[in-house]
Amino acid sequence: MVILPLALDALRDPEKWDKEWDTIIERQFLSSQAPDFCFESMLTEHQYGPAGVDQALASYQGQLASTCAVQRNLTEDALGYFISRNLEAKWMRAGGDVRGEHILRGMATVCNKARNLNQARCYTPELRLARLRLDGKVFLDLLKSAMLDDASFIPATPKYISHRHWDRFEAAQGPRNDTDAKKMALAEVLLLRTKLICHVLQFTLRSFFGLELPEFCVVKEHKSIQGRKTHPLAPLHEANLEAALGPEAARAYMKGDKQGAKARISQRVAHCSYLGCHNSEPTDGSVKFSRCKQCFDLMQRQVLYCSGKCQKADWKLRHKAVCGKPMDFDAVSVPVVHPTSVRDADTRIGLPTNGFRRPPGLVLQVTQLNKSPTVDYYLYRDGNEQALDFGQGTYEQDLFRAHREEAMTSGNRGCVALMAHYMCWMIAGETPERAQGITQNMIVAQLAREYDFPSLRGEVLRMQEIQNRDPLRRPPLHRDTSPYRWRRAIEGTNAFERVVTLD
Ligand SMILES: [Zn+2]
Ligand SMILES: [Zn+2]
């Protein structure tokens, strides 16, 4: 039998708590035994009590949404650290002891908050202190793989963090997952993994930069499901505990588990169920949210709203489909687009395709552009930004944006070079006042960083050679622009004299 370290011990004795987890993770993931066996046992139906599956299904969309929000918050935080606080260099320089101190503090604080987050360490072999602290790159890689590709909106599904054992196991599930309980268990485990990793990364970085740890609310569960789950690897039977630990230690363990649960439950808050609302019920009991009567009467489901307005909005968005009805996995796993993201979905720059991974600088650029859809590119100088705008709906803008989309979604280097050259060429024609101190070299350096493209300078100079050979002197971005249109576009400008020259 496996005895899981208690959430309460995470803060009481973090080192000991972490060592115990480490032993369990090692046994599960690194032993010669295939880890599939352990996963399999997590997905058996007895994880849920009789009413448990319905409750789990009912709360799944909320969990999905909150995990997406956590991931977005992490991404916003991390972009700030990467761009303005020089995270990469500082983290690598810090040394294993300092890194380890902050990672452990992050893990312990997060796992102390909720039993399910503590238990999720079973499914999260990524969070091994020894590995994360020793090589700073391992932590940074995990951070990059957990960050969203665009922080301008909250996505409908989280970006799941890939792990070879999990990926293989998940791929093999399909036909074997023949009940809602099994589907739900796997979905919950994958969500919890994502949530735990994102929280730990966020807390660690806050701690590292000496910032306050973020507010953290665990959603209150209805009485009927509180404590519904026992962990499949370690069901808490007093008899088993006694056999393993002896009577005294078993009693202390049970007491610690209860004590921790009580403390945690008292901190929990109830949220408004509408995705677009961030209100939560005051903990002093001064205001009670109203609940959906139909859901409570028919299914003993607790669906709370802060106001009639939110209830109405949620009804249209998603509640109508599930109100008072028994749930099934297919219905609740349909992604619901977050109401705050619908507005600009049409003009938004797309997500990366074909495995292209956006470096943090590019995630920031995409995020800012999607927040301000009229801007064509942001150029940075000493932390100040300058917005490049070709004019709403112009031919130039369409042309530029077609290349921008390709560069930002596929990482196409040809498109990056065309854009970089074009922006340099435009700046070359500006007076120093209009350029506001932005130089061609700055543009090339910025894009080389954003697209992780160290040889961009050479490519931009090659673009200039191509332009020189064109009798019409069209920048290569305009290679398909008709001579007629081009002559019209540059009429009365100094376009012919402009040349890109780099240091
Ligand atoms: Zn509300
Ligand atoms: Zn309802």
Reduced 3-state DSSP string for 163-218: CHHHHHHHHHHHHHCCCHHHHHHHHHHHHHHHHHHHHHHHHHHHHHCCCCCCCCCC
Say whether both 154 and 111 belong to one domain: yes
Name the domain boundary from 217, 234, 251.
234
Total H helices, total E strands in the chain: 24, 4
* 297 alpha carbon, closest ligand: 2
- The pair phi, psi for residue 378, each rounded to 5°, is -105, 130
Q: Would you say 397 and 391 are in contact if contact means Cβ atoms under 8 Å apart? A: yes
- Neighbouring residues of the ion ligand 2, judged by CB less than 5 Å: 292, 294-295, 323
For residue 326, being part of any structural domain is answered with yes
pLDDT bucket at 220, cuts 50 / 70 / 90? low
pLDDT score for 226: 44
Q: Distance, CA 221 to ligand 2 centroid (Å)?
A: 16
For residue 230, being part of any structural domain is answered with yes
Neighbouring-strand partners of residue 290: 305
Domain span holding position 287: 269-343
Name the domain boundary from 234, 259, 287.
234
Residue 388, classed as helix, strand or coil, is strand
Q: What percent of the chain has pLDDT over 70?
A: 87
- In 391-439, where does DSSP find H-type helix? 395-410, 413-428, 432-435
User: How far is it, in rounded angstroms, from Cα 114 to Cα 12?
Assistant: 15
Say whether both 43 and 184 belong to one domain: yes
For the chain, how many structural domains are there in total?
3
Q: Distance, CA 371 to ligand 1 centroid (Å)?
A: 24
Most confident of 40-44, 81-85, 223-227, 283-287: 81-85
Say whether both 300 and 443 belong to one domain: no
From residue 259, alpha-carbon distances to 9, 230, 294, 450, 475 in Å are 11, 16, 35, 49, 70
Most confident of 110-119, 216-225, 386-395, 416-425: 416-425
Q: Distance, CA 306 to ligand 1 centroid (Å)?
A: 4
Q: Distance, CA 305 to ligand 1 centroid (Å)?
A: 5
Give the tens place of pLDDT for each residue, 422-481. 999 999 888 888 888 899 999 999 999 999 999 999 999 999 999 999 999 999 999 999
Q: Distance, CA 74 to ligand 1 centroid (Å)?
A: 24
Give the tens place of pLDDT for each residue, 113-152. 888 889 889 888 899 999 999 999 999 999 999 999 999 9
For residue 460, being part of any structural domain is answered with yes
Residue 77 has pLDDT above 50, yes or no: yes
pLDDT score for 227: 44
Q: Which long-range contacts (CB under 8 A, 24 or more apart) does 132-137 make?
A: 132/99, 132/100, 132/103, 133/96, 133/97, 133/99, 133/100, 133/103, 134/96, 136/91, 136/92, 136/94, 136/99, 137/92
Q: Distance, CA 271 to ligand 2 centroid (Å)?
A: 15
Q: Which of 40-49, 63-72, 267-276, 346-355 shows the lowest mean pLDDT across its residues?
A: 40-49
Say whether both 286 and 392 belong to one domain: no
